[in-house]
Structure 1
Amino acid sequence: MSTILPREEAVETIFSKILASPEASGRLSGVFYDHIDDDHRLTDNDRDHFLQVLFHAYQNGDISALLLELCGRSMFDLLREAYLIPKKFHGKAGENPVLLTDAAGELLPGEKVSAREYAKFKETYEHHECAPRSALYLADGYDLVRTYTEGLNITEEKDNRKRGILALYALPDTCKLGLTEAQAYAVVWDAFQKIQEEAPRAMVYYGQETGLKKENPEKPYDEIGILLPIHEFEKKMLQHLDEIDGIVLACREKMMEKAGNDSLQL
């Protein structure tokens, strides 16, 4: 039997980075223990289902199956909640984050946005000079919550919506370099940690090969997106975006040194 969620491959590097950092290890431990204390631990009233999950986890080495039963989080969900890896980015046409404007800064048809939120976005859009191969959007970001339905089937729902300004950057294609998603997280580890230091409540997304250019669809690229919730960042939005530009561009430069200057057309 396979694992209930796709198993992340080649996780050694990212796990080693967490173990080497007392601060990162402490954050992960804190998130885990917060979820399994008496006030937050999930209790399955169906004993048969609990045992089914427990035995499956043992037989298949599936730690995420057991964690979902105990605290409603997979292994990588806990890493994301501890701000140790980015959220998984589903692409421009995907579910999370949800874009509310187009690349020209205009509201997409059918989207409802308050006048205050749109005014703040337009002000930022007009005054921030985007870095090469980057763009600004108004977007909604979500946490994704997984729960068991019947047996070992899982449903995924959006939760905790945050509306903000999304800075979206193109990065070299790490799949072409033969890297797994976990290995790609390790590549952007330093940049991700610096972003969290600069903007602690930012929502950071990463996607392998989620970016496509119409004129060159056979050459996808990776994307990193940083969503700054308007409520938390509106007073210093431009300052934070300038700092994040510098962090991401430095990361991109290092990635291109490894992948080759032709790995991403700027």
Structure 2
Amino acid sequence: MSTIFPREEKAEQIFDEILKNPHACERLKDTFFEAIPSAEESEGAGTDIPGTVFAAALFTAYENKDLSAFMMAVCNSSVFDLLRNSFLISIRFNDKGVENPIFLTDENGDLLSGSHQHACAKKYKMFHKLYEQQDEIPDYHMYMADGFREKHGYNEKGEIETFRISEHTGILMLFEFPESVTLEINEERSYAIIWKYLMKLQEQLPQALMYYGRRDENGVEKNTSKLGIFLLFCHFEHEMEKTVELANGIGLGCREAILAEIKALKNDPKNKTAGV
């Protein structure tokens, strides 16, 4: 993909010279933020990072056509952090090996060892009432859990750091796919379906989270993939019973849509790789 303007010749030499001069880096940073209305008043807008870190991120983004490298310096978020935290993409279970969400209860609805002091008694009582009232749905489980979202930025040494934001406790509804099914549709097809239902979720239950993918259990990756909807107590506790019902409808609809896509691919003679 071509750039809007022609690439400057000897850009690396120019950048190297600027990076050697902290005052030049600071001046470059000041000029950038002067061009953004109210940037100085915006908390976390990037104005507090050293000029050398800002300049290095800017030049790296220019040289590598890496927008996220610069976005992290400006707003402590990569491009996909912004999408994720705008509820425009779902979250992978245990992304990059970090447990998220963290289960507080087992499959019987009982608090796990070590969760008693952490879990609020009022919230657990609410969860357990819903757990006892839930409908019998195949390959479905309800848990009380902790979760979080994240963003990325630079520290003063110019190293990338991951920051947890919006740490929350809520109810996780887990929709599993039957163990007999191998999800061999490609990522684009499955994600197109997930995104469609994520938008339905946001229309009906703004700020509910959707998870997808495989989830490690006790360090062992199971063969089944999962779909999860996470309802935060801080947003939905006053109408949680109705909210669970709406979320279940969306989650089950998404799972059925993916299974229908798998079945269609299996029956397509042109597709030799799909199967169960």
TM class by shorter chain equals 0.7 to 0.9
**Could you say what secondary structure the match of 2:105 adopts?**
coil
Is 1:209 the counterpart of 2:204? The answer is no
1:196 partnered with 2:202: yes
Q: Distance in 2 between matches of 1:120 and 1:35?
A: 43
Cα pair distance change 1:212/1:117, threshold 3 Å: closer
Q: Equivalent of 2:86, from 82, 86, 109?
A: 82
User: Percent identical across equivalent pairs?
Assistant: 33
The C-alpha deviation readout for 1:231-254, integer Å capped at 9, x for no partner, is 332232222222222222222222
Distance between the aligned counterparts of 1:203 and 1:238, measured in 2? Answer: 17
Which residue matches 1:221? 224
Letter paired with 1:98: I
Which amino acid counterpart does residue 43 of structure 1 have in structure 2?
A: T
Q: Secondary structure at the match of 2:201?
A: helix
Instruction: Choose the corresponding residue for 2:66, options 51, 54, 62.
Output: 62
Cα distance between partner residues in 2 of 1:192 and 1:141: 18
- Whether contact under 8 Å (2:170, 2:230) holds in the other structure is yes
Task: Please show how residues 242-253 of structure 1 align to structure 2 within 5 Å.
Answer: 242-253=245-256
What whole-Å deviation, never above 9, does each CA across 1:190-243 have from its counterpart, x for those lacking one? Answer: 21111112211312222x2336799xx886233222121223322322222222
Instruction: Determine the structure 1 residue equivalent to 2:187.
Output: 179
Q: Contact 1:72–1:147 at 8 Å: present in 2 too?
A: yes
Larger proportion of strand? 1
Structure 2 unaligned regions, length at least 5: 1-35, 267-273
* Larger-Rg structure: 2
Q: Determine the C-alpha separation between the residues in 2 that align with 1:162 and 1:38.
A: 28
- 3-state DSSP class of the match of 2:111? coil
Long gaps (5+) in structure 1: 1-32
Residue type at the aligned position of 2:152: R
SS in 2 for 1:188: helix
**2: distance between equivalents of 1:100 and 1:110?**
8
Determine if contact 2:227/2:255 at 8 Å carries over to the other structure: no
Contact 1:209 1:222 in 2 (8 A): yes
- Could you tell me how far 1:50 is from its partner in structure 2? 1.5
Equivalent residues of 1:100, 1:138 under 8 A apart? yes
Instruction: Tell me the amino acid that sits aligned with residue 215 of structure 2.
Output: T
- Asked which structure has the greater RCO (Cα within 8 Å, sep 6+), the reply is 1
Counterpart check, 1:155 vs 2:158 = no
* More divergent stretch after superposition (46-55 vs 93-102): 93-102
Which residue does the alignment assign to 1:46? 50
Q: Give 1:231's match in structure 2, choosing from 217, 234, 239.
A: 234
Q: Secondary structure at the match of 1:132?
A: coil
Q: Does the 8 Å CA contact 1:188/1:251 hold for their aligned counterparts? A: yes
- The size of the alignment, in residue pairs, is 227
CA contact (8 A) 1:166 1:227 kept: yes
The 2-side partners of 1:63 and 1:135 are apart by 39
Q: Which amino acid aligns with 2:238?
A: K
Once the two structures are TM-superposed, the CA of residue 64 in structure 1 deviates from its matched residue by 0.8
2:261 matched residue in structure 1 = 258
Question: Counterpart of 1:125 in 2: which secondary structure?
Answer: helix
The answer to whether the 8 A contact 1:143-1:160 is kept is: yes
**Match of residue 96, structure 1, among 89, 93, 100:** 100
Query: Which string of whole-angstrom CA distances, capped at 9 and with x for unpartnered residues, describes residues 15-40 of structure 1?
Result: xxxxxxxxxxxxxxxxxx99968413
The match for 1:143 among 138, 149, 165 is: 149
Q: Is 1:105 the counterpart of 2:109 in the alignment?
A: yes
Shift of 1:120: 0.7
Measured in 1, the distance between the counterparts of 2:215 and 2:169 equals 21
